[in-house]
Amino acid sequence: MKVEIVKVSDKNLKKQFIDFPHNLYKDDPLYVPELYLAQNEMMDTKKYPLFEFSDVEFFIAKKNGKIVGRVAAIHNRNYNDYHKANAGFFGFFDIIDDYEVTQALLDAATDYLKEKGLIEIIGPCNYSTNETAGLLVEGYDKSPLVMMTYNKPYYADHLEKYGFNKSMDLYAYMLWTKSVSDKSLRIAKALEERLKKSGITIRNMNLKNLKEEVKNIKPIYNAIWQDNWGFVPFTDKEINHLADSLKMIADDRWLYIAEDNGKIIGFNITLPDINQITKGFKKGRLFPFNIIKLLLNKRKTKYVRIIALGVLEEYRKKGIEAIFFAKNIETAKETGVLGGEASWVLEANDMMIKAAKNLNGERYKTYRLYNKFLA
């Protein structure tokens, strides 16, 4: 039976697009459903900030009348303007193990991007490296942590058969609380005391004023990561949306800001792994009772994820990054957290890789971004 490609054009198709992975992975004990509320908002062209500078088309694949795959084709103009590139992205990519389905979906996505005059396709990204990105290629034996992707090994086989090549690998390191040497913590503590004498201090973020904190972090974030592969600067609306999203799950015990005499020079955002809670939420629904479970248990998770840790270039090599890591570990010891995932780390980021190794970090997952030039 021929694969039928359908554009998502109404609420019912949108719901089917969001729910497809839940049906695909319903018997997989490692799968964690994305929250329906968040996914629905990400597809809202009037509310989600990305649509102010991006065009996106969502596709569903059907076979024998049944949904068998999905993909989004993304034209992110901010990315192209920043990188002086002419590339598009694909994301929200999920398929059954049937290459014919993958081929039909990717044909639809690439045709859409070619119509936009683009010459390259990169992915998977939902929608850019500011959101969830990368295809899992190593580490299929554990569930993903918060805001990380998950897929079966055959996804990579299908993409490579279609002609995609590796563009960049993204590493996830697990820092086990019990494995970190006390010596590294003592060194970090001494560093913090020494820096304090020169006016450099570390404090916790103020959750009651999170929107303002995140607003002040935005230019620092954009400056720290400006030279990173795949980077796209946050807009004001995007950073405000991020602050609103984080507020429900953030825990100020894990959020740190470094300042030089009151001027922000770096920050660390670590989130509780709410996936441990939401794993059992059928089809990612929060209401009516799951939202209560989430709010009551978010401070009790046994794992956390370090999603952003960075310092302005002129302040690097002063040990501030090591202090951030040490503070995470100290908090883990105090709260009974077993480990923290530092992710993702670009394979080209030698400094962060070295820092993770110095803390006995275990590289236990690898994610990959692919690219293909369009004929």
pLDDT at 132: 93
Same domain, residue pair 155 and 239? no
Same domain, residue pair 123 and 231? no
Residue 8 lies in a domain: yes
Taking a C-beta distance cutoff of 8 angstroms, is the pair 90, 96 a contact? no
Rounded CA separation 157/159 (Å): 6
Same domain, residue pair 31 and 87? yes
pLDDT at 179: 87
pLDDT at 217: 92
Residue 374 lies in a domain: no
Omega within 30 of 0 (cis) for the link into 288: yes
pLDDT at 180: 81
Same domain, residue pair 199 and 307? yes
Number of domains in the chain: 2
Among 125, 189, 166, smallest CA distance to 326 is for 189
Which of these three, 135, 151, 168, is where a domain ends?
Answer: 168
Same domain, residue pair 250 and 290? yes
Beta strands in the chain (DSSP E): 4-7, 54-63, 66-76, 87-95, 120-123, 125-126, 132-133, 135-138, 165-176, 200-204, 255-260, 263-272, 303-311, 339-346, 362-373
Same domain, residue pair 195 and 162? no
Which of these three, 144, 168, 192, is where a domain ends?
Answer: 168
Which CATH number fits the domain that encloses residue 236?
A: 3.40.630.30
Taking a C-beta distance cutoff of 8 angstroms, is the pair 365, 172 a contact? yes
Same domain, residue pair 225 and 346? yes
Residue 375 lies in a domain: no
Same domain, residue pair 189 and 220? yes
Same domain, residue pair 333 and 215? yes
Residue 373 lies in a domain: no
Which of these three, 122, 137, 168, is where a domain ends?
Answer: 168
Residue 227 lies in a domain: yes
For the chain, count helices (H), then strands (E): 12, 15
pLDDT at 233: 92
List the Cα angle 209/213/216 in 5-degree steps. 145
Number of C-beta neighbours around residue 224 at 10 A:
22
Structural domain including 44 reads 4-168
pLDDT at 182: 77
Same domain, residue pair 255 and 123? no
pLDDT at 351: 83
Same domain, residue pair 235 and 359? yes
Sign of the Cα pseudo-torsion (37, 38, 44, 46, in order): positive
- The CA-based dihedral angle spanning residues 145, 146, 148, 149, taken in that order and rounded to the nearest 10 degrees: 80
Same domain, residue pair 48 and 161? yes
Weakly modelled stretches of the chain, pLDDT under 70: none
